[in-house]
Amino acid sequence: MAPKIKVVKTKSKPPGSLGAPPAPFKKPAEVLKPFYESLSRKHVYITHIDTKPKDFKKKIFLVPVGMNIVVAALFVLRIYYILPYYFKFIQSAAGYPNETTFSPSDSTWAALAWEIGKRGFSFTLDLMLFIFVWPWPIEFVFGQTYGNPVQWRWNVGFRDKEIYVRRSREWDQQLGDIFKEKEKNQALQSIVRQATSPLLLQEKTGYLTMTGQWDLDWNSMVLVHNLVDKKQVALDAFKSLVLVWHEDYDWMVLEQAGENVKEDDRRRQVFAFRDALSAIGKEDLFFRWIEIVQFESSQPGGFGPEKQTEVAKKIRDLFQEQGVDFDKLWHESVGTEGLAAM
C-alpha cells in the first residue's frame, strides 16, 4: 500500500505583510487611505496641483467642449441624412422596389463595380464614424469607467488650485515585479521623472497632461477635491504624489531624490515667476533678472550672503523702476518668500 502524502497548504501573504518597501519607495500617509484605496491596483498614479488662473483653465476646457459639440452635431446631421437611405435598403430587401433597388443581371460590369464601391464606401464610412468618432462626445459627457470631464467640472468647477490625478496607460502591464527586475524599476522611475518634470507641469495646464503614457482619472479628481473640501486631507498632500501598488508592500509612494526635488522646486518657481511677468507684459524684466544673477554670480569673490543681498537690492530697484513690486509679485505667483534653497 502506497504511503499517503500529506498536502500542506501555504497561506499567501496579505499585501503589506513585509513592512516598509525598499528605497526610494515608502508607505503612503494614513490620511491618504480614502484616496488610494479607491484606485485600481493595475495602474500607477500621479497627482499634482495646477496653479494656472481659473480664466485660463476655462478657455482650455472650452476647446474640447466645442469640439465635442461640433462632432455630435455633425453626427446627428449624418444620421438625419443617411437614415432614410438605409431604410430604403431595408424596404428593397423586403420586396418593395424603390430607387435603391439594383438588378445586377441588368447592369454592366462597370455599373455593378461602381454601385458596389459606392455603397461599400457609405457603409464603411458610417461604421467607422459609429465605432471611432461617436464615442468621443459620449465618453466626454457620459463616461462611466473612470468618470468623465463634464462630471468632473460639474462637481469641482474651476479653481485657482486644482488637483489632477493621472493614471498610467497600457505600458504599466509590462512592469512586472519592480523589486525583482532592476530594469523595470529604473524604467518606471524614468517615466515618472518625465511626467513630473517641472517644465512640463509649468508649461501645461493639468488638462493637457494627457499623453500616450498617461490619462486623467476623472472620478479620482472629484474624490480628492471632496477630501480637501471636507478638510480630511490638506491640499499640499497632493502636490507631487506618485502611487504604485505591489503585492508584497501594498500601496507605495515613490520618493524623488532630495536634491532633485529641490532643483525641481527651484525651476518650478522660476517658471511661475516668468509666467507672472509675461501676464503683465514685463517678460523682459525676467531676462534682465536672469542676466544680472548670472553675471554677478560669475564674478571673482564668489556669491556669498553679502553679495546676494547687494544683487537682490539691485534687482528690486530695477523692477521698481518698471512699476513692479518684486517681492509682492514673487509671493503672489510662487507662494513663498524667496527662491527655494537660496
Q: For the segment 203-248, what is each residue's pLDDT rounded down to a tens digit?
A: 889 999 999 999 999 999 999 999 999 999 999 899 889 999 999 9
What's the domain count of the chain?
3
Separation of alpha carbons 263 and 272, rounded Å: 14
Residues 246 and 264 in one domain: no
Report percent pLDDT > 70 for the chain. 89
Q: Which of 80, 111, 141 is the last residue of a domain?
A: 141
Range with lowest mean pLDDT among 192-196, 208-212, 312-316, 334-338:
334-338
Q: Is residue 129 part of a domain?
A: yes
Q: Is residue 307 part of a domain?
A: yes
The answer, yes or no, to whether residue 340 has pLDDT greater than 50, is no
Q: How confident is the model at residue 254 (pLDDT cuts 50, 70, 90)?
A: very high
Q: How confident is the model at residue 36 (pLDDT cuts 50, 70, 90)?
A: very high
User: In the block, which residue shows the cell 488610494?
Assistant: 36
Q: Which of 141, 176, 194 is the last residue of a domain?
A: 141
Mean pLDDT of 144-148: 90
How confident is the model at residue 331, as a pLDDT?
82
The answer, yes or no, to whether residue 342 has pLDDT greater than 60, is no
How confident is the model at residue 269, as a pLDDT?
79
How confident is the model at residue 297, as a pLDDT?
79
Residues 34 and 182 in one domain: yes
Q: How confident is the model at residue 157 (pLDDT cuts 50, 70, 90)?
A: very high
How confident is the model at residue 337, as a pLDDT?
62
Report percent pLDDT > 90 for the chain. 38
Residues 179 and 136 in one domain: no
How confident is the model at residue 235, as a pLDDT?
92
The answer, yes or no, to whether residue 302 has pLDDT greater than 70, is yes
Separation of alpha carbons 220 and 69, rounded Å: 25
Range with lowest mean pLDDT among 63-67, 250-254, 320-324:
320-324
Q: Which of 229, 256, 283 is the last residue of a domain?
A: 256
Q: Is residue 289 part of a domain?
A: yes
* Whole-angstrom Cα Rg for the chain: 29
**Which residue would you say has higher pLDDT here, 152 or 119?**
152
Could you tell me the residue range of the domain that residue 317 belongs to? 259-334
Instruction: Report pLDDT digits (tens) over 80-139.
Output: 988 888 888 888 878 788 777 777 777 788 877 888 888 888 889 888 988 888 888 999
Mean pLDDT of 25-44: 94
The answer, yes or no, to whether residue 309 has pLDDT greater than 60, is yes
How confident is the model at residue 336, as a pLDDT?
64
Residues 64 and 213 in one domain: no
Average per-residue pLDDT in the chain? 85
For residues 193-232, b (16+ Cβ closer than 10 Å) or e, as one string? eebbebeebbeebbbebeeebbbbbbbbbbbbbebbeeee
Mean pLDDT of 187-211: 88
**Which residue would you say has higher pLDDT here, 3 or 164?**
164
Residues 46 and 187 in one domain: yes
